[in-house]
Amino acid sequence: MNDQHHTSIDEDEIDIKEVFRTINRYKTMIIFFVFLFGAVSAYIAYFKPNIYQGTSTVEVGLQQRGYGSSDILNMAMDPGAVNPDTEIEIIKSRFLAKMATEKVDFSHRYFTTRHFKEVELYKSSPIEVGMLKGFGIPFELYPASDTKHFRLVVDEYKEKNGTKWSYDKVLPFGEEIVTPHFHLNVVRKAPLIDESYRFVVTKENLPVGKVNVSQTSKFSTILAISYEDNVPLRTQEYTNALAEAYIKQNIEKKTKEATRKLDFIDRQLKKITENLKSSAVKIEEFKKGTNTVNLSSKAEVIIRQMSEAEAKLEEISIESELLNSLYEKIKKGKNLESISVIGIGKGNKALAEQLSALQQAILKKKELREDYTEMYPGVVKLRKQISYLKKTIIDMIKNLKSSMDEKKRLLKESIAKYQKELNELPADERMYGQLQRKFAVNEKIYSYLLEKRSETAIIKASTVSKNRIIDTALYPEKPIKPKRKLIVLVGLILGLIVGIALAFLRNFLDDRIQSEEDVKHLTDTPLLATIPHMKEGADKLAVLLSPKSAVAESFRNLRTNLQFMVRKERSHIIAMTSTVGGEGKTTLCINLAAIMSIANKKVIVLNFDMRKPTLHEKFNLSNRHGMNTLLAGSTSLGSVIQKTEYENLDVITSGPVPPNPSELIQSELTGKVLEKLREAYDVIILDTPPIGLVTDARTLMHLSDTSIYVLRAGYSKKGFIHNINELSHLNEIHGLGIVLNDVKADRHGYGYGYGYGYGYYEEGK
């Protein structure tokens, strides 16, 4: 169990090493992407316009309706309960924006370019433009050589009807400029210090920024009004103008309510006054004609009860009329979000709640319709909800009307009963009672209306808003957007992520062997040595040219490892092969031979690669005779052995390219030659053809004591190791090992300055 745990840890460590190795291998590409994304994000951050925010706070008077009030007039005139959502929608409405833009100019916009980016000047513009025609056309203005003239340019502009035109002319300041396309004049207010200016004048004065309104907390009555714009002064001005417009419209609304209430009271007073005068005159005339002064106690009781019933009947009639008005508004379905809830009896609270829900649904639908069509699921859902609420409210009104009709019927029956009792009294007393009753009812209503008129007149004269501005917006010194440091940081991080992702993608798609870890992961065949990268020109005998170099040290390491594979009773035959050309097989052969010759070993290198021989070029030797002539029986063994300039190092070249190299290598003479050479040499190195291209190498490997399979880092495919695994299972192959060649410093950590370029079997070059 401990062994399994140890193995798991080792695998994790190998994976971590592979991650860092991959990053190190592609570090140049990763750095490039980090720099690229950083540069792009810095460009975006620099040229993105500044956005400033101004915030003001207002306190909202969220009064609640008194549903249980018995004051019919107050209920009739009540505008409805105020809620935060409604006030927020009012502040964000086009109606309030229009009021606020009366103090802030959005229609005239002036621009210039400073430090390679365009900025808006607003009130700091050195020019002022008046326009009668040409709204929405972008104009370019360039200062002339003198201060009295300017150059006005319109690049190719396309009208709505498809007509294209342009304009370029030097003009004086302050004079009217009239063309078929525009009519304007330009006034110079200050020296023109910039090279050029741009201006656009729009017909409508609409805000260009974004308004946001929110409650400072869930149960707070304070709303925060925020406005975002790219000009700090205009941000401050419009935010404060919006808050002031909100307070102003609230006062105007209350004044209109008071005026409406006064008009209603005055109309009722006029009618009641006439009725009261008429009743008083009739009572006086009746008294004179009948000499009646007082009523009997029975008559007084009947008249009082009858008066109370008639007063209640009048109240219910008023309520019924108000319900009829509300019913008609709901049926029409227009401006429902602004209608008031009428307090009618016990059912008023439930009706108010339903109407409030209807108004909220209408406001939400309007808000969604600014961004979505009627087919948007949220809009469809709200439309169904509105339809349902309308039906519910209409049903509730009908039920209330039925209830009122029943009350009216009962009151009328009571009045009829009192009238019958009154009819049983003497005629004079009965007539006097009726006149007295009418007078009392009119007098009661008159007193009530007179009192309310006085209250309303006082309210109108001293109308103040229950809303007030708590804090005005300050001048925003710093922009809230863009977050330039954050943009650059995100760009750098994104570049790093993309670079690393592409590095791992390239590493995943790259099927070439890059390091000794790749070899160890794919095969159990021992790795005898790792040879560093040698620069071009040092590939002949690097171990002799630089005997103290890391390259020479790596070959010494290979020599040491091979000593453990030597059969002491006879010479050591080493076959060197690879999968394809270009993997450095021949270079490794001569350097291995050289490093062994330094150790006083008598070494000979045999070039069995007869199809494209290169061994003779490495030593500048003749290739007139060699292995092919020897195996063909044309020459003797002694005549083909060539001495090199290096002690203990001999070579047999391949000779001229034969037509049948495979037959020659597979002949019995090959084994006899090798046995003969064992008598004279300690080490015999066979430079074989690539085993992936021809089968000659396998025959030679059978005759060898040790077989070295060469792989080149960054060149050999991982699939080549499949050939090695197949060879390792053949009993005829002795001492199979791998040498990983041309490992660069970024793959293995070497710091050598050696390298070389192979062109083996690359006819296309």
Contact yes or no for 127/141 (Cβ under 8 A): yes
pLDDT more than 70, % of the chain: 80
φ/ψ (deg, to 5) at 136: 85, -5
Contact yes or no for 369/379 (Cβ under 8 A): yes
How would you classify residue 259: left for phi > 0, otherwise alpha for psi between -120 and 50, otherwise beta?
alpha
Beta pairing, strands 176-178 & 183-188:
antiparallel
Residue 52 has pLDDT above 80, yes or no: yes
DSSP character at residue 724: H
Contact yes or no for 327/49 (Cβ under 8 A): no
Residue 765 has pLDDT above 60, yes or no: no
Taking the C-alpha atoms of residue 371 and residue 432, their distance in angstroms, rounded to an integer, is: 71
pLDDT at 28: 92
pLDDT at 431: 64
Contact yes or no for 753/526 (Cβ under 8 A): no
Name the E strands within 82-196: 108-114, 117-120, 127-133, 139-143, 149-158, 164-172, 176-178, 183-188
Confidence band, pLDDT 50/70/90 cuts, at residue 34: very high
Order of strands across the sheet with 149-158?
117-120, 108-114, 197-201, 139-143, 149-158, 164-172
Residue 444 has pLDDT above 90, yes or no: no
Residue 222 has pLDDT above 50, yes or no: yes
Side chain identity at 340, as an amino acid letter?
S
Contact yes or no for 513/711 (Cβ under 8 A): yes
Contact yes or no for 446/262 (Cβ under 8 A): no
Confidence band, pLDDT 50/70/90 cuts, at residue 20: confident
Residue 22 has pLDDT above 80, yes or no: yes
Residue 167 has pLDDT above 90, yes or no: yes
Q: In a 10 Å sphere around its CB, with 0-12 CB exposed, 13-18 middle and 19+ buried, how is residue 114 labelled? A: exposed
Residue 183 has pLDDT above 70, yes or no: yes
pLDDT tens for each residue of 324-365 = 877 887 887 776 765 655 444 444 677 778 887 887 888 788
pLDDT tens for each residue of 455-479 = 666 655 544 556 788 899 999 999 9
The DSSP string of 246-292 is: HHHHHHHHHHHHHHHHHHHHHHHHHHHHHHHHHHHHHHHHHHHHH--
Contact yes or no for 55/532 (Cβ under 8 A): no
Q: How far is the CA of 105 from the CAs of 54, 407, 558, 564, 698, in angstroms?
A: 17, 60, 85, 93, 91
pLDDT at 760: 36
Sign of CA dihedral 477, 483, 484, 486: positive
Taking the C-alpha atoms of residue 89 and residue 376, their distance in angstroms, rounded to an integer, is: 21
Q: Which of 273-277, 489-493, 733-737 has the lowest average pLDDT?
A: 273-277
DSSP character at residue 749: -
Give the residue, 203 or 331, on which the prediction is more confident: 203
Cis peptide before 482 (omega within 30 of 0): yes
Give Cα 736 distance to the centre of its chain: 58
Q: Element (H or E) spanning 421, and its range? A: helix 377-423
In the chain, which segments carry CATH 3.40.50.300?
Answer: 516-748
Rounded to 10 deg, the angle between the 232-290 and 427-461 helix axes is: 160
Contact yes or no for 691/723 (Cβ under 8 A): yes
pLDDT tens for each residue of 394-441 = 888 888 888 888 888 888 888 888 777 767 666 656 566 666 666 776
pLDDT tens for each residue of 618-631 = 888 888 889 888 98
**DSSP-based three-state secondary structure for 330:** helix
pLDDT tens for each residue of 55-96 = 999 988 754 444 344 444 454 444 444 567 878 888 888 888
Tokens of 453: 């008129």
pLDDT at 650: 93
DSSP character at residue 533: P
Q: Which of 44-53, 71-80, 314-323 has the lowest average pLDDT?
A: 71-80
CB atoms within 10 A of CB 52: 22
Q: Which residues contact 186 (CB under 8 A, 6 or more apart)?
A: 127, 128, 129, 141, 150, 152, 171, 173, 174, 177
**Rg of the chain over CA atoms, in angstroms?**
53
Q: How far is the CA of 583 from the CAs of 533, 579, 689, 690, 757, in angstroms?
A: 12, 8, 12, 9, 10
Taking the C-alpha atoms of residue 314 and residue 328, their distance in angstroms, rounded to an integer, is: 21
Taking the C-alpha atoms of residue 543 and residue 437, their distance in angstroms, rounded to an integer, is: 136
Q: Which residues contact 133 (CB under 8 A, 6 or more apart)?
A: 181, 182, 183, 184
Q: Scanning the structure block, which residue is given the tokens 């209503």?
A: 445
Fold of 516-748: Rossmann fold (3.40.50)
Taking the C-alpha atoms of residue 556 and residue 591, their distance in angstroms, rounded to an integer, is: 10
The DSSP string of 1-65 is: -HHHHHHHHHHHHHHHHHHHHHHHHTHHHHHHHHHHHHHHHHHHHHHSPPBEEEEEEEE---PPP
Give the residue, 518 or 124, on which the prediction is more confident: 124
Count of positions (residues) in the chain: 765
CB atoms within 10 A of CB 284: 11
Taking the C-alpha atoms of residue 41 and residue 495, their distance in angstroms, rounded to an integer, is: 10
Q: Element (H or E) spanning 226, and its range? A: strand 222-229
Confidence band, pLDDT 50/70/90 cuts, at residue 567: low
Taking the C-alpha atoms of residue 739 and residue 522, their distance in angstroms, rounded to an integer, is: 14
Taking the C-alpha atoms of residue 536 and residue 517, their distance in angstroms, rounded to an integer, is: 26
φ/ψ (deg, to 5) at 513: -75, 130
pLDDT at 4: 41
Q: Which of 46-60, 148-162, 387-401 has the lowest average pLDDT?
A: 387-401
Q: What is the mean pLDDT of the chain?
A: 81
Our CA angle for 369, 374, 377, nearest 5°, is 95
Contact yes or no for 38/495 (Cβ under 8 A): yes
